[in-house]
Structure 1
């Protein structure tokens, strides 16, 4: 069974998102440590350290923002769930959090490969495709179509 055949509970979705945000944070820290301790600057850059490269600096700024946005959306979804808000709003908030967490993890993994030449194994997202979450959010916000309970979009 997977998320397309077995609906998740909102708590399951929160837990899955939290794992992805935490994994993105871990990858960010691993990549930071590598850049600080082992990386060499790009040849011809005139820099003494890879950590002085403005493109590397920008990359870490982007990653930090993506991870913090994912964490904030996760917190918002958790608050809405625990406050017992409108079920449709909770499902949309959970979908938004899942998208942000998934993209933060993907960005952190890509940056790890780009900046270190290594790629850590990542959990599969095939059982929870983000493309359906975009549709749920867009249809709700644009057309007022309430998310249904069929399948898993949380």
Structure 2
């Protein structure tokens, strides 16, 4: 079950995005503290641009989360809400993955994070793209699960 196929329940659909975004910010802060302790590292152009990349992805995820929250608050069309939620999930998962990879690249350590195997992100990319490009509404939950069996 994912954001495009699950029933929309107030307060729950964006919990994953909020959790991933929080973890991404926490990882970024921890990585910043570690790197700042390494005097020469803070001047390395790769390190500087890596932090810029992580920061931008976190800000994009935060903006998409806020947009999805606005859609939910305004009770927009269920398809548009589902698409906005999926976009938020994808962006926050990408921000978390980028922050985790940057942590490993810059500190040599990786914090354990829960996986997203229960929430296939590639499938969301296809559903979002198919809706935006072709106007095809995402299938219902029963159609998605029947195809996955």
TM over 0.5: yes
Q: Which runs of 4+ in 1 moved over 6 A?
A: none
- Show structure 2 runs of 5+ residues with no match: 145-149
For the pair shown, which has the larger CA radius of gyration, 1 or 2? 1
Matching of residue 20 in structure 1 with residue 2 in structure 2: no
- Show structure 1 runs of 5+ residues with no match: 40-47
> Displacement of 1:8 after TM fit?
5.9
For residues 13 and 107 of structure 1, the distance between their equivalents in structure 2, rounded to whole angstroms, comes to: 22
> Displacement of 1:123 after TM fit?
1.1
Q: Kindly indicate which of the two structures has a greater share of residues assigned to helix.
A: 2
Matching of residue 113 in structure 1 with residue 112 in structure 2: no
> Displacement of 1:54 after TM fit?
1.0
1:5-154 correspondence runs (5 A): 7=6, 9-10=8-9, 11-37=11-37, 39=38, 49-150=40-141
Q: TM-score, normalised by structure 2?
A: 0.88
Q: TM-score, normalised by structure 1?
A: 0.85
RMSD over aligned Cα, in angstroms? Answer: 1.7
Do the aligned partners of residues 35 and 132 (structure 1) sit closer, same or farther apart at CA in structure 2, a change above 3 Å counting? same
